Amino acid sequence: MNTKVTVSNTYKSKDDLIILSDFDDFGWAASILTDSETTFLKNAAKREVSFVFLARETGSIVVQFLKENGTDSISREDARIAGNEILSHISQYKIKTVTLVNKHPINRSLDFLEGMVLGNYQFLKYFSDKGEKINSLKEIKVDKSAGSRSAIIQLKHVLEATCKARDLINEPHSFLSAEQMSKEIQSVGKTCGFSVKVFDKKKIEALKMGGIIAVNLGSENPPRFNILEYRPKKAKNKKPIVLVGKGIVYDTGGLSLKPTTNSMDFMKSDMGGAATVVGTMMAVALNKLPVHIVALIPSTDNRPGKNAYAPGDVITMYDGSTVEVLNTDAEGRLVLADALHYAKKYKPELVIDFATLTGSAARALDREAMCFMGNADKGIKDKIVKSGHDVYERLVEFPLWREYGDQLKSNIADLKNLGGPNAGMITAGKFLEHFTDYPWLHFDIAGSAYLKTADSYRTKEGTGVGVRLMFDFLKNY
């Protein structure tokens, strides 16, 4: 994360301030502004400008007006968007440190802060001229009027985790092989306080994880199966919650090479589900939530090498089911299926998987929401949908009706890995369902894990979607 967030107990007149204010409540102004500044501010508020920049010899003041917009969900999102929008003005004046102060009767400061920090994110690792590209803003001091120390620190951890997820997605495959991703995960585990066990190719073969082995056949690089575990002493859950993340570090489609122009360009992001899961573990461990969580990440690239698996092949999965592979580009479900079967040994309370699984999920909802489906209780679904509105990573449920499963019937094996031309996100979900025997939810994040252009504080490339969602859900679990 390239913005330092610190808690501040006092601010001085020489500090650059951002003050959040209502449009018609200026009781706070007398102690901070001059009379003429206050008059200027009131006139600006009448004209409904969104913010006012008051230049001073030392310590400029930005007054940001925030309006309530119908629902909490939308008002909070508007505060995040405003946080991102103020960044361009901050950098225009080359401001390095600002102090965020709340004077609004409804406190949206932490959402505003979230928009600022996430919008200020940059991935500059591969530029030679980093110095010229880097944003000026380095630190946000958060005044006590904006939130309690514990709330600020908790949010800071979640933002660090979201940025780590973005970093992982933004790393190109030339760096992030399956082996390298395991090293990255191990280092996150070490610094944040969760354990990481990694199965190598030999172990994966010994366990007969047929889905992972098949997808890896065309690759020069070995696969990995990562097991992350966070087990606090005072866990509220008796049986663990298991998270599963698709860790395809690059998806060419394999021998069924991706047919659509340019669609391979951003397939380094096909480990977006893994990034969500790593980020969630990081946020949970840093904040020491009292929940026992295991995360499983099957990982490989998918390539048309000389030994690659081919359309028409029949493979035997880790659970013993046979699968006729009719399209090697439907590889995500094969590696996830092995992980979902592995999850059974934990007798989990709930399993949640995240995957950039289908183009049809992206076509259905674009970047605005994730498709989800599964057999978990309505109570669980309602809670996660609410978290989705609160953090503005919204969810739309799709049905797993049995008729969709008919599309996966194979002539020669237990099932095939390809459904019909429509409702691809559901047939993919039906495929996964076959490998589950516990309360389960599946999130298809193909539309929102990676953006070609920025969407406000969701900067372009990896978004880290799902981390804020899962943290909110687990915090309230």
DSSP assignment string, 310-343 = -TT-EEE-TTS-EEE-S-TT--HHHHHHHHHHHH
Q: Nearer to ligand BES by C-beta: 223 or 424?
A: 424
Q: Which residue has the tokens 């110095």?
A: 131
10 Å Cβ neighbour count for 227?
17
Residue 462 binds to ligand BES (criterion: CB under 6 A): no
Q: Which of the residues 144, 208, 258, 475 is marked catalytic?
A: 258
Q: Nearer to ligand BES by C-beta: 66 or 325?
A: 325
Residue 18 interaction partner, one of Zn ion, ligand BES, none, beta carbon < 5-8 Å per kind: none
Residue 332 binds to ligand BES (criterion: CB under 6 A): yes
Q: Nearer to ligand BES by C-beta: 351 or 355?
A: 355
Q: Nearer to Zn ion by C-beta: 270 or 338?
A: 270
* Choices 14-22, 25-33, 330-338, 466-474 (CB under 6 A): range interacting with ligand BES: 330-338
Q: Is 110 helix (H, G, I), strand (E, B) or coil?
A: helix
Per-residue mark of binding to ligand BES, 249-288 (x: CB under 6 A): --x------------------x------------------
Q: Nearer to ligand BES by C-beta: 11 or 250?
A: 250
**Which pair of tokens denotes residue 55?**
């230049």
Least distance in angstroms from the C-beta of 226 to ligand BES:
19
Residue 331 binds to ligand BES (criterion: CB under 6 A): yes
Amino acid (one-letter) located at 248: I
- CA-derived radius of gyration, the chain: 24
**Which pair of tokens denotes residue 273?**
């589900």
Least distance in angstroms from the C-beta of 172 to Zn ion:
16
- Taking alpha carbons only, the member of 217, 124, 225 closest to residue 181 is 225
Q: Give the C-alpha separation, 286 to 155, whole Å.
A: 11
**Which pair of tokens denotes residue 456?**
């406000």
Q: Give the C-alpha separation, 358 to 447, whole Å.
A: 9
10 Å Cβ neighbour count for 223?
25
Q: Nearer to ligand BES by C-beta: 182 or 358?
A: 358
Q: Give the C-alpha separation, 237 to 250, whole Å.
A: 35
- Overall residue count recorded for the chain in this entry: 477
Q: Give the C-alpha separation, 108 to 142, whole Å.
A: 13
Residue 424 interaction partner, one of Zn ion, ligand BES, none, beta carbon < 5-8 Å per kind: ligand BES
Per-residue mark of binding to Zn ion, 219-258 (x: CB under 5 A): -----------------------------x--x-------
Residue 81 binds to ligand BES (criterion: CB under 6 A): no
> Is 231 part of the annotated catalytic residue set?
no
Q: Nearer to Zn ion by C-beta: 248 or 295?
A: 248
Q: Nearer to Zn ion by C-beta: 264 or 396?
A: 264
With CB under 6 A as the contact rule, the residue among 327, 381, 389, 396 that binds ligand BES is: 327
Residue 327 interaction partner, one of ligand BES, Zn ion, none, beta carbon < 5-8 Å per kind: ligand BES
With CB under 6 A as the contact rule, the residue among 171, 319, 329, 353 that binds ligand BES is: 329
Least distance in angstroms from the C-beta of 248 to Zn ion:
5
> Is 333 part of the annotated catalytic residue set?
yes
Q: Which of residues 408-437 bind ligand BES (CB under 6 A)?
A: 418, 424
With CB under 6 A as the contact rule, the residue among 362, 391, 432, 474 that binds ligand BES is: 362
- Taking alpha carbons only, the member of 113, 103, 116 closest to residue 145 is 103
Least distance in angstroms from the C-beta of 450 to Zn ion:
12
Q: Which residue has the tokens 């969500």?
A: 276
Residue 359 binds to ligand BES (criterion: CB under 6 A): yes
C-alpha 70, offset from chain centre: 26
Q: Which of the residues 141, 156, 268, 333 is marked catalytic?
A: 333
DSSP assignment string, 215-275 = HHTT-SS--EEEEEEE--TT-S-SS-EEEEE-EEEEE--TTS---STTTTTTGGGGGHHHH
**Which pair of tokens denotes residue 62?**
């930005």
* Choices 15-23, 37-45, 323-331, 381-389 (CB under 6 A): range interacting with ligand BES: 323-331
Residue 114 binds to Zn ion (criterion: CB under 5 A): no
Q: Is 351 helix (H, G, I), strand (E, B) or coil?
A: strand
Q: 427 φ, ψ to 5°?
A: -65, -35
10 Å Cβ neighbour count for 6?
13
Residue 362 interaction partner, one of Zn ion, ligand BES, none, beta carbon < 5-8 Å per kind: ligand BES
- Taking alpha carbons only, the member of 157, 473, 464, 185 closest to residue 288 is 157
Question: Which residues are known to be catalytic?
Answer: 258, 333
Binding site for ligand BES (CB under 6 A): 251, 270, 327, 329-332, 356-360, 362, 418, 424, 446
Binding site for Zn ion (CB under 5 A): 248, 251, 270, 329, 331-332
